[in-house]
């Protein structure tokens, strides 16, 4: 089965760039959403569910935080790994990796590959069921170290 990535960002250029990067590097199907509401509609309507959601944190209408909370309230959606990609420092559950913008596309692909390969999967962090369980085990949240961003292109 082909890998599916959902990229959620209110900047169309970033969605296009990440879509192209993930498609070329991972030979995957890339879906995009321009805001949180569109992302949730896509998640609820499309099958197969994505293997990972790459989520911008600061968006109009519905923030990344709101999307993550809505996903956590849905049994099926709470099982989808999420990676936050944001220009600002954010507090997220310990099992949600954060990549700081700007970031080099190849570094973003490496983080996604590592996450999906299980090297930093939710189950290895004690989050085998959901991000909510992870929060219970690990505390309210954290702001992880950013991925280094020399030679950045994704802003």
Is residue 124 assigned to a domain? Answer: yes
Is residue 151 assigned to a domain? Answer: no
Residue carrying the six token digits 């973003």: 108
Q: Which of 80, 95, 106 is nearest to 136 (CA)?
A: 95
Q: Label the pairing between strands 98-100 and 52-55.
A: unpaired
Mean pLDDT of 104-132: 62
**pTM across the whole model:** 0.77
CATH number at 104 reads: 3.40.50.2300
Q: Which residue has the higher pLDDT, 102 or 155?
A: 102
Q: Which residue has the higher pLDDT, 139 or 4?
A: 4
How do residues 95-117 score in pLDDT, each as one tens digit?
A: 888 999 998 988 888 888 888 88
Is residue 50 assigned to a domain? Answer: yes
Q: Quote the domain boundaries for residue 109.
A: 4-138
Whether 23 has a pLDDT exceeding 70, the answer reads yes
In this prediction, residue 125 carries a pLDDT of 34
Instruction: pLDDT band for 118, please (50, 70, 90 cuts).
Output: low
In this prediction, residue 62 carries a pLDDT of 94
Total domains, the chain: 1
How do residues 51-95 score in pLDDT, each as one tens digit?
A: 999 999 999 889 999 999 999 999 999 999 999 998 888 888 878
Is residue 15 assigned to a domain? Answer: yes
Whether 37 has a pLDDT exceeding 60, the answer reads yes
Is residue 89 assigned to a domain? Answer: yes
Percent of the chain at pLDDT > 90 equals: 49
Is residue 70 assigned to a domain? Answer: yes
Strands (E), the chain: 4-8, 29-33, 52-55, 82-86, 98-100
Is residue 149 assigned to a domain? Answer: no
Is residue 155 assigned to a domain? Answer: no
């Amino acid at each position: 089965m082909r890998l599916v990535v959902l990229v959620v960002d209110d900047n169309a250029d970033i969605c296009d760039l990440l879509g192209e990067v993930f498609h070329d590097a991972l030979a995957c199907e890339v879906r995009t959403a321009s805001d949180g509401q569109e992302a949730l509609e896509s998640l609820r309507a499309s099958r197969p569910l994505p293997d990972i959601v790459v989520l911008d944190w600061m968006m109009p209408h519905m923030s990344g935080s709101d999307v993550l909370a809505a996903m956590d309230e849905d049994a099926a959606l709470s099982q989808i790994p999420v990676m936050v990609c944001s220009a600002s420092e954010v507090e997220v559950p310990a099992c949600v990796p954060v990549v700081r913008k700007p970031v080099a596309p190849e570094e973003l692909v490496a983080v996604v590959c590592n996450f999906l390969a299980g090297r930093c999967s939710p189950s290895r962090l004690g989050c085998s069921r959901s991000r909510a369980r992870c929060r219970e085990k690990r505390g309210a949240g954290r702001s992880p170290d950013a991925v280094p961003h020399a030679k950045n292109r994704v802003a």
